[in-house]
Structure 1
């Protein structure tokens, strides 16, 4: 299925409708309560400001080779996407939409698209291959960049219990063996790494829409 013409929000709504009968009620309640708490908390207090330099870190590519965000974008401006992992259905929807609806415009303008998560390189490779992503996917062990950017979070205890019951152990899929996760975030940075636009979603059930990213590219003009 292609995502052209479909917003991420519409695709997430459709996923929720399809998943209602497959997800145990206690897990649905746990995730719903968690999302309500995230909405109530809003944006984190320590969020990096637009105009500051996006932090970098010691990252790994999909083959486990050391790299950095600076090296990956090779002097180009970039759209940097922070996502939770290949296990996250919301992330799968968003990255597929960015591949189909955003990547062509970025390529035409010489802008890199880079996705970063705390999962192991194997998880990054799985995401890249199964979703047929042509852009760079990196692993950030320890959430170095997310922490410095101010978007680091973690599931509630009840949500973690629900994840475990569904077969997900974040300490096994994250490279640093912790449950820490980045808030889904899209940053547009210029050629020297300065943040020109930042969209943070504390509630992981919502994401930056492709149309909003494309409209925001004017900050690089």
Structure 2
């Protein structure tokens, strides 16, 4: 089953309140409203895209080690996934799909990383729960997400909904601002140019990991 098919199946069960979910219709409508408004804002169109130079970054992995994009790019291309956090089932399914595709990324010499505004303990939890062999880097205050044009502020009505759901982003992220990155996937070439980008303000929609393989093949000068 494709990643998007899994996401669609989860969404259908969640919105239908099938066990173990029990979600008031008002909650679903509020989430739909927030997504529609983010789409309409055009924020995704303003994010970094293929052909742009990727912002460089140095971030800590869950164990506190510094990971530098410039140093990694000296050796190989990068596959980046911007991840909202351990609390997001859609993001967790995406991380699992990326882990399953990692052997293909390795074949074409690419490093796989996730970037999240959440704290290191939450990233360790994400790595453990999703059985990941790649790191989730801590983007404190969402600065790298902002540099890529992905960071957005949640509207007041969505903040109130999240509070009611015990989804306390300031605690998850150690950041008083109620902000998140739009889910995004990038392939960055060794010269720092973005070779592939997929930014979607609808958090229930994610590209297939296999979509990046042709780009990685070209980057590695491997004939299909």
Q: Structure 2-normalised TM-score?
A: 0.87
Is the contact between residue 73 and residue 192 of structure 2 (CA under 8 Å) also seen in structure 1? no
2:11 paired with 1:16 = yes
Comparing 32-41 and 114-123, the one that deviates more: 32-41
Q: Which residue of 1 aligns with 2:35?
A: 35
Query: Per the alignment, do residues 125 and 74 of structure 1 end up closer, same or farther by CA in structure 2, a change over 3 Å counting?
Result: farther
1: CA distance, partners of 2:74 / 2:177: 30
Change (3 A) 1:162 1:72: farther
Q: Deviations over 1:156-207 (max 9, x none)?
A: 2222211111111111111433221111111101123221111111221211
1:37-186 alignment runs, 5 A limit? 37-44=37-44, 46-71=46-71, 75-100=75-100, 102-186=101-185
Per-residue CA distance 1:66-102 (angstroms, 9 max, x = gap): 43333456621111111111111110111111111x2
Greater Cα offset, 58-67 or 44-53: 44-53
Matched-pair contact (CA < 8 Å) for 2:108–2:216: no
Cα distance in 2 for partners of 1:84, 1:130 equals 15
Segments of structure 1 that go 5 or more residues without pairing to the other structure are 1-5
TM-score by length of 1: 0.88
- Alignment partners' CA distance in 2, 1:72 and 1:160: 37
In the TM superposition, structure 1's runs of 4+ consecutive aligned residues that sit over 4 Å from their partners are 71-74
